[in-house]
Structure 1
Amino acid sequence: LLYIAQAVPLRILAALALALLLNRPRKGIGVYRAAAYLPTVIPDAAYALTWTWILNPIYGPLNLVLAALGLPTPAWLADQDWALRGLVLMSLFQIGEGFVILLAGLRHIPREYYEASRVDGASGVQQFFSITLPLLSPWLILLSIRDIALSFQSTFTPAYLMTRGGPYYATFFAPLMIYEEAFDNLHFGIASALMLVVFVATLLLSLLAYFVFEESGLDAD
């Protein structure tokens, strides 16, 4: 749940920022959009192994850059306080599907709304909060529910290959727990119960995301 609370909002914000940035027509825009989506098609195992190298505290490029900037260089996957943050950071580079969903939502907003608001003297910030965000709310709800549901599944591969649930159970996510109970301990009853708990938690969090958007007053109608 801690991973979902951190990763899902950050992934949605990153996808929204990327969609807003790449929504305007410009030279080479197709290449930029393809590059934004590209990490999504990389197999999970290859992606996890690549980020194991990136987050390596000794020769990983991320810490080399941080050291060059005079910033702290944490032991990302070996430190209990940084392992979860490392996996959250890794997830932010797989927002291609969310980016495509929000880009499609932006393309469905009539340009006449923006032209009329500019005539009335609205700034870009006012247009975003008065036009873009309300009309994009159904897409944000869809993306939130999708990301919450997929987060319970997508955490297995990085946790299994990169940290084995450690250090000190900092990344011992529900899918990894279910896997160990079912295939390592052969406790199929416990694994089935855990799967039911994950299903209920996914359903409740999805409903919570829906009601949060409903109560926020963002209405596309």
Structure 2
Amino acid sequence: MFRQEHRTGLMLAMPLLVSTTILVLIPTLVTFIFAFTNFDGLSQIKWVGFSNFSKIWGDTLFWTSLKNSFYIAAVGVPLRITIALFLALLLTPERTGVGAARSSAFLPTVIPDISYALLWLWMLNPIYGPVAYLISALGLPGDQLLLTPFGARFSIVFMSLFQIGEIYIVLLAARRELPHELYELCTIEGTSAFWTFKRLTLPLLMPTIVFLTARDVAWSLQSTFVPSLVITKGGPNFATLFLPLYIYQNGFEYMRLGLASAMTTVMFLLTGLMIFVQVRVLRFRKGLFDL
């Protein structure tokens, strides 16, 4: 019986295992191998050892793109998690209009990245874009939004704040699974909403928040490619030259595929390190909440 169940489970998981192997594991292995070669897609492949990594070390644009990517992650991830948590708590009670609000909060997430970027390219247009118009109406230089380093980075972060559907749905499900008896007890005891959130809701949701934060760090480092390519082209003054865009330029515009593979390897390792540190810090903070 156990063997039959095991075989059935394996068959059900086989499509995912095969697709993951073909689309993720094999490309990752090939990228790692190419990182140590002079592969350019045209000439004969030669093993160059750590030469590509030495070039990365002395490449100022690589460090600029890395700094820009970390800036987006450091600013965008806390904002995305906070907004998603606020929406999850706001839309947890069942009342009129909540279903439509939940669907609306998730809708931007299902829009294809290229369509989403083109939509924001129109909205941020300095001549007829509605966002630029509203900013100008407030007395701010809306027509200069994409022409300054801060404005361009702000625009990329602001765009990402609407694509929080997956985070919001997971937090909403986690919040709805919390025991109602505990909240009834807090109501009977007369505790404030802030105390209930700080001492009850947040500690119970912290494992989910840790997971979502780690996932969102990886997402934010990779999701900047399409908006930076479509909207800002890496400018102004390399302010939105993010690591995925710089890897694309080296690999497919300059045909330095070996160097691009080395950059991809570095990005993978740094992303893993960043997630590890963040998870450890959040777990430590969870311990403080439990005190």
TM-score (norm 2): 0.73
Select the residue among 74, 96, 105 that pairs with 2:174.
105
Select the residue among 98, 108, 119 that pairs with 1:50.
119
The separation in 2 between residues aligned to 1:109 and 1:76, in whole angstroms, is 43
- 1:59 deviates by 1.6
1:94-116 Cα offsets, whole Å, 9 max, x none, are 11111101101101111111111
- The code of the aligned residue for 2:189 comes to D
The separation in 1 between residues aligned to 2:254 and 2:135, in whole angstroms, is 41
**2:177 pairs with 1:177:** no
The separation in 1 between residues aligned to 2:167 and 2:223, in whole angstroms, is 14
Select the residue among 80, 94, 111 that pairs with 2:149.
80
- 1:153 deviates by 1.6
SS in 2 for 1:82: helix
The separation in 2 between residues aligned to 1:68 and 1:153, in whole angstroms, is 34
SS in 1 for 2:226: helix
- 1:218 deviates by 5.5
- 1:188 deviates by 1.4
1:138-163 Cα offsets, whole Å, 9 max, x none, are 11011101111111221111011111
Matches within 5 A, 1:141-160: 141-160=210-229
Greater Rg over alpha carbons, structure: 2
- 1:54 deviates by 1.2
**2:186 pairs with 1:117:** yes
The separation in 2 between residues aligned to 1:80 and 1:61, in whole angstroms, is 21
The separation in 2 between residues aligned to 1:43 and 1:177, in whole angstroms, is 22
1:1-55 Cα offsets, whole Å, 9 max, x none, are 1111111111111111111111111112111101100000101001001101111
* 2:99 corresponding residue in structure 1: 30
* Number of residues of Structure 1 aligned to a counterpart in Structure 2: 220
Select the residue among 124, 133, 137 that pairs with 2:202.
133
The separation in 1 between residues aligned to 2:204 and 2:288, in whole angstroms, is 8
The separation in 2 between residues aligned to 1:183 and 1:43, in whole angstroms, is 22
Q: CA RMSD in A?
A: 1.4
Q: Is the 8 A contact 1:135 1:219 kept in 2?
A: no
Select the residue among 81, 92, 97 that pairs with 1:12.
81
Q: Is the 8 A contact 2:88 2:172 kept in 1?
A: yes
The separation in 1 between residues aligned to 2:98 and 2:265, in whole angstroms, is 44
- The structure showing larger relative contact order (alpha-carbon pairs under 8 Å, at least 6 residues apart) is 2
Identify, as 1 or 2, the structure richer in helix.
2
The separation in 2 between residues aligned to 1:5 and 1:219, in whole angstroms, is 22
**2:161 pairs with 1:92:** yes
Matches within 5 A, 1:58-73: 58-73=127-142
The separation in 2 between residues aligned to 1:209 and 1:168, in whole angstroms, is 30
- The code of the aligned residue for 1:178 comes to I
Structure 2 residues without counterparts, runs of 5 or longer: 1-69
Q: Is the 8 A contact 2:73 2:220 kept in 1?
A: yes
User: What's the % identity of the aligned pairs?
Assistant: 47
The separation in 1 between residues aligned to 2:143 and 2:201, in whole angstroms, is 38
TM-score (norm 1): 0.95
- 1:65 deviates by 2.0
